[in-house]
C-alpha cells in the first residue's frame, strides 16, 4: 500500500503508531474510561506555558478512546472521548454513522452529534447536506439505511438539513459543543 494509517499528535512529535503497531519505545495503555494513554521518549515535557499535561508515571492522556492489546502489540482508535454519544445506555461513535449516512445516494455529506434528551440521555442527531436540495432524504430513509449496517441505537433520531457543514481550519468536521 502507498499509505499507512498513522496515530500520533503534536504532543508526541508526530506519528508513534503505524498500521496499529507502536514504534520501539512507545508504551500504550487504557484507563478505566477506555481512554488511550501514551508514554514515549519523544513525548513532550511541557507546553510552552510550562504546564505538564502528563499524569503520574509520565503517561499522557490523549483524549482518544480505543483499545490496546499488549499481547499482539496492536492499538485501535475509536474516536475522541468527547465525541461519543451515550443514548439509552449505549455508546454511539459518530464516525461510522457519518460514513454510513454519506454512502446514502441522497446525501452528499453528514455530521453526527448528540443532543440532550430527557428520555435517552442524548439522542443521535444527523446534520446532512443533501445531494440534491430539491429532493432531500427523510429521517425515516436515513434511520432505515443506518440500521441496515449498524446497531439500531446508532440510527439518528433527529435530522437537520444544511447547505454545508462546519469545518476546522484543517478540514475536519466541527461538532457542536456537547450539551
How much of the chain is helix, strand and coil, in % rounded to 5?
15, 40, 45
Kindly report the CA angle at 82 between 78 and 54, in degrees rounded to 5? 85
- Convert the pLDDT of each residue in 127-173 to its tens digit: 999 999 999 999 999 999 999 999 999 999 999 999 999 998 888 88
pTM over 0.75: no
162 CB contacts (<8 Å, ≥6 apart)? 127, 128, 129
Cβ 104 vs Cβ 142: under 8 Å: yes
- Convert the pLDDT of each residue in 63-84 to its tens digit: 998 999 999 999 999 888 888 8
Grid-cell match 442527531, residue found? 125
Checking 55-58 for CB contacts under 8 A at 24+ apart, the result is none
Amino acid at each position: 500500500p502507498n499509505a499507512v494509517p498513522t496515530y500520533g499528535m503534536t504532543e508526541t512529535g508526530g506519528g508513534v503508531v503505524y498500521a496499529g503497531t507502536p514504534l520501539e519505545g512507545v508504551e500504550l495503555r487504557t484507563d478505566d474510561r477506555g481512554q488511550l494513554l501514551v508514554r514515549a521518549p519523544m513525548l513532550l515535557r511541557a507546553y510552552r506555558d510550562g504546564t505538564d499535561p502528563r499524569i503520574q508515571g509520565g503517561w499522557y492522556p490523549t483524549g482518544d478512546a480505543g483499545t490496546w492489546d499488549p499481547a499482539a502489540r496492536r492499538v485501535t482508535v475509536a474516536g475522541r472521548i468527547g465525541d461519543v454519544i451515550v443514548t439509552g445506555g449505549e455508546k454511539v461513535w459518530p464516525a461510522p454513522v457519518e460514513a454510513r449516512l454519506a454512502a446514502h445516494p441522497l446525501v452528499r455529506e453528514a455530521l453526527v452529534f448528540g443532543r440532550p434528551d430527557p428520555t435517552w440521555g442524548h439522542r443521535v442527531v444527523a446534520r446532512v447536506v443533501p445531494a440534491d436540495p430539491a429532493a432531500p432524504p427523510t429521517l425515516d430513509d436515513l434511520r432505515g439505511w443506518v440500521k441496515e449496517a449498524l446497531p439500531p441505537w446508532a440510527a439518528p433520531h433527529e435530522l437537520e438539513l444544511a447547505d454545508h457543514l462546519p469545518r476546522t481550519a484543517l478540514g475536519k468536521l466541527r461538532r457542536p459543543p456537547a450539551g
